[in-house]
Amino acid sequence: MPKRDNISMSVIRRLPRYYRFLIHLQEKGVTRISSTELSAKLGLTASQIRQDLNCFGGFGQQGYGYMVDQLCSEIGAILGLQHGYEAILIGAGNLGQAIASHMDFTRDGFRLTGIFDNSPFKIGSSLNGVEIQDISKLEDFCRKNDPQMAILCIPREAASEIVERLYSLGVRNFWNFSHTDISVKYPDTIVENVHLNDSLMTLCYRVHDKLQHDAASEEKQ
């Protein structure tokens, strides 16, 4: 499939949204959809959707729309979801447990094969069929299994030492919940930082802004 160089991250970040909605359409038995229908469901313009998809080659036909199965398969291939990259999770606290138990890693391009923690109360138990191992076994596991990605669900103060260990073992890709900046010290890594507080504060701003706007509108009446 042809693909343009220098595709913006804003386009890439919209692809999972398209993919997730197409999966929903498949489950409902929908076989074809137009960009106009997609735009109405996703809150984007039809032009934006067409531009995004055109970055990766031609999809659909004018006046006919997109075949849901084909488009879903193509976007999945663009995202690389078929590869099943091996992943490990560090930190089996509340957040780590929630991620390990409820994320569909296979659907999202990864296989969770190892979970590590330092708590004797957790070591030896399992999450979603994966045994929680002592963090002291991290090196042996990584040398044997060569995971491509690590999920960090550990406190900021513990993250630097763990990242250094993982980096020395060849891990260069991180899904980072630890509130520590990895890419500054390790510029050759690929990092997706997840700051749940940022999302919550953004929501707080939007609620606050709307309430202020509503109050101002009432005063004018």
Q: Which of these, 20, 151, 176, lies nearest to 85 by C-alpha position?
A: 151
Domain coverage including residue 21: 9-77
Q: Per-block average pLDDT, block size 10, for the chain (221 residues)?
A: 70 94 95 91 91 80 80 93 96 96 93 97 96 98 97 95 97 95 94 93 96 87 72
Residues 24 and 128 in one domain: no
CB atoms within 10 A of CB 31: 12
Query: What is the per-residue pLDDT across 139-157, written as a single tens digit (0 to 9) for each?
Result: 999 999 999 999 999 999 9
Residues 145 and 188 in one domain: yes
Query: Which of 39, 61, 77 is the last residue in one of the domains?
Result: 77
Residues 51 and 97 in one domain: no
pLDDT for residue 60: 63
Tell me which amino acid residue 86 is.
E
pTM confidence score:
0.88
pLDDT for residue 59: 72
* Pairing between β-strand 149-152 and β-strand 85-90 as defined by DSSP bridges: parallel
C-alpha 83/C-alpha 75 separation (Å) is: 13
- Residue 4 resides in a domain: no
Asked if residue 59 lies in contact with residue 8, where contact means CB atoms within 8 angstroms, the answer is no
107, 198, 180, 15: CA torsion to nearest 10: 30
C-alpha 13/C-alpha 107 separation (Å) is: 17
C-alpha 31/C-alpha 2 separation (Å) is: 24
Arithmetic mean of pLDDT over the chain:
92
C-alpha 50/C-alpha 58 separation (Å) is: 9
- Residue 206 resides in a domain: no
pLDDT for residue 4: 54
CATH code, domain with 29: 1.10.10.10
pLDDT for residue 1: 47
Query: Which of 47, 77, 107 is the last residue in one of the domains?
Result: 77
CA 147 to chain centre: 17
C-alpha 30/C-alpha 174 separation (Å) is: 35
Asked if residue 195 lies in contact with residue 179, where contact means CB atoms within 8 angstroms, the answer is yes
Query: What is the per-residue pLDDT across 1-31, written as a single tens digit (0 to 9) for each?
Result: 455 567 899 999 999 999 999 999 999 999 9
